[in-house]
C-alpha cells in the first residue's frame, strides 16, 4: 500500500502558516465532490491534469481524501500512521461518516439526532482536508468550534481531536491531527456544510475582509471551507474556469464507481480573478 502513496506527499519546506486564513491565501484546495455540488463542475474528466510539485503549496493532500472502495488507496501520505489509517479511512471516508452519525448513544436509541434509524445509511458529507505546516494544532478558520473528543491514533504519537461547529443546527465537523512522520504538519479534515455565515464576531477576519471587501452575508450554502476561499471560488465560478486542487481529493460514493484515475482528475487552473488573489506560483497552469 505504501507503494501507492509515496509520491503525493509533497509540500514546501520554507513557509509555515499559523492559520488557515494564512494558508488559504496562498493555496487552494477543495475536494472535487464539493466543487461539483457547489460550483456545478462537470464530472471528472481526463482533461484534469496531475498536479505538479511546483504548484503545491503548504497545503498538501490528505489521507482521508480521494478514497473510494473501488480504487486502491491513493493517499497522499507516506506517513506510516496515516497510511495505516488508510484502509480504515477508505471505509471511513465512506461509511466512517455513518459511524459519525450513528454513534454511541444514538444507536441505543435506535434513532440518531437526524432521525435516521440505526444502520440506515446517511449520505456522506463532503470532505475537504488540508495538511498544513503549523505549530498550531487548531488553526483559526473563522468559524467557532467545540471540541467533543480526542483519541489516540494508532501508530502515532499524536492524538486526533474532534471538533463540531458550535452554531446551532450546523453539523459540520472537523478533525485535527498531527502527522506522525512530520509533526510540523497538521492535518485538518472538514466534513459537512456550514448552513450559516461566519460568526459575526469573526466575520471581520482581516484576511476575509481584505479578500472580500465586505462583511459578507450568508449564502445559505457554505462549505466547511474558509469563507474567503468560498467567496474566492464563487467569484471564479465560470464554465471555462477550472480550479487547481492541491494534492488529492476525495471522491465520494456517487462517483466511486467511475474510472478514477488518481493522476488524471486534478482540475487545471485557468487564471481568472483568482490570480489577483492567489499567488501565481500556486496557480500554475499545466497543460
Partner DNA sequence: CGATTTTGACCTGCGC
Partner DNA sequence: GCGCAGGTCAAAATCG
Binding residues with DNA: total (CB under 7 A): 41
Binding part of the chain for DNA, among 3-11, 142-150, 202-210, 276-284 by CB under 7 A, reads 142-150
Q: Which of residues 119-138 bind DNA (CB under 7 A)?
A: 119
By beta-carbon proximity to DNA, the closer residue of 58 and 224 is: 224
By beta-carbon proximity to DNA, the closer residue of 80 and 276 is: 80
Tell which one of 37, 116, 160, 284 touches DNA (CB under 7 A): 160
Contact status, residue 187 vs residue 179, Cβ threshold 8 Å: yes
105 binds DNA (CB under 7 A): yes
Tell which one of 118, 210, 238, 257 touches DNA (CB under 7 A): 118
Question: Whole-number minimum distance, CB 198 to DNA, in Å?
Answer: 14
151 binds DNA (CB under 7 A): yes
Tell which one of 6, 52, 146, 214 touches DNA (CB under 7 A): 146
Distance of CA 21 to the CA centre of its chain: 14
Contact status, residue 92 vs residue 64, Cβ threshold 8 Å: yes
Q: Which of residues 64-103 bind DNA (CB under 7 A)?
A: 84-85, 87-89, 91-92, 95-96, 98-103
Q: Which residue has the cell 459540520?
A: 172
Helix and strand totals (H; E) in the chain:
11, 7
Residue from 18, 12, 226 nearest 134 by CA: 18
CB-based contacts of 129, cutoff 8 Å, min separation 6: 29, 31, 61, 62, 64, 65, 187, 188, 189, 190, 250
CB-based contacts of 14, cutoff 8 Å, min separation 6: none
Tell which one of 1, 15, 54, 152 touches DNA (CB under 7 A): 152
Contact status, residue 16 vs residue 183, Cβ threshold 8 Å: no
Q: Is 219 exposed, middle or buried (0-12, 13-18, 19+ CB in 10 A)?
A: middle
By beta-carbon proximity to DNA, the closer residue of 150 and 184 is: 150
By beta-carbon proximity to DNA, the closer residue of 9 and 112 is: 112
150 binds DNA (CB under 7 A): yes
From residue 170 to residue 189, what is the string marking binding to DNA with x (rule CB under 7 A)? Answer: ---x-x--------------
Question: Whole-number minimum distance, CB 163 to DNA, in Å?
Answer: 7
114 binds DNA (CB under 7 A): no
CA count, 13 A, side-chain hemisphere, 82? 31
- Which helix (H) or strand (E) element contains residue 96? none
Residue from 252, 246, 217 nearest 231 by CA: 217
Q: Please tell me what DSSP assigns to residue 281.
A: G
- Contact positions vs DNA (CB under 7 A): 84-85, 87-89, 91-92, 95-96, 98-108, 113, 118-119, 144-154, 160-163, 166, 173, 175
Amino acid at each position: 500500500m505504501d507503494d501507492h502513496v509515496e509520491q503525493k506527499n509533497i509540500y514546501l519546506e520554507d513557509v509555515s502558516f499559523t492559520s488557515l486564513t494564512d494558508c488559504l491565501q496562498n493555496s487552494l484546495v477543495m475536494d472535487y465532490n464539493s466543487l461539483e455540488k457547489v460550483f456545478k463542475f462537470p464530472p471528472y474528466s481526463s482533461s484534469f491534469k496531475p498536479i505538479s510539485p511546483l504548484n503545491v503549496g503548504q497545503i498538501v493532500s490528505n489521507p482521508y481524501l480521494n478514497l473510494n472502495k473501488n480504487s486502491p488507496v491513493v493517499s497522499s501520505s507516506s506517513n506510516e500512521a496515516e497510511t495505516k489509517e488508510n484502509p480504515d479511512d477508505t471505509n471511513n471516508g465512506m461509511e466512517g461518516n455513518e459511524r459519525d452519525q450513528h454513534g454511541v448513544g444514538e444507536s441505543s436509541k435506535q434513532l440518531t439526532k437526524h432521525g435516521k434509524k440505526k444502520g440506515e445509511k446517511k449520505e456522506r458529507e463532503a470532505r475537504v482536508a488540508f495538511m498544513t505546516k503549523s505549530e498550531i494544532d487548531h488553526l483559526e478558520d473563522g468559524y467557532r468550534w467545540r471540541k467533543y473528543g480526542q483519541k489516540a491514533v494508532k501508530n502515532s504519537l499524536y492524538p486526533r481531536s474532534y471538533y463540531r461547529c458550535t452554531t446551532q443546527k450546523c453539523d459540520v465537523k472537523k478533525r485535527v491531527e498531527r502527522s506522525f512522520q512530520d509533526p510540523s504538519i497538521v492535518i485538518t479534515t472538514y466534513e459537512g456544510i456550514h448552513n450559516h455565515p461566519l460568526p459575526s464576531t469573526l466575520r471581520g477576519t482581516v484576511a476575509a475582509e481584505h479578500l472580500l471587501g465586505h462583511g459578507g452575508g450568508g449564502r445559505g450554502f457554505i462549505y466547511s471551507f474558509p469563507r474567503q476561499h468560498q467567496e474566492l471560488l464563487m467569484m471564479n465560478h465560470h464554465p471555462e474556469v477550472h480550479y487547481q486542487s492541491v494534492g488529492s481529493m476525495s471522491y465520494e460514493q456517487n462517483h466511486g464507481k467511475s474510472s478514477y484515475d488518481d493522476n488524471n482528475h486534478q482540475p487545471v487552473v485557468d487564471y481568472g480573478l483568482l490570480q489577483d488573489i492567489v499567488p501565481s506560483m500556486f496557480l500554475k497552469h499545466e497543460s
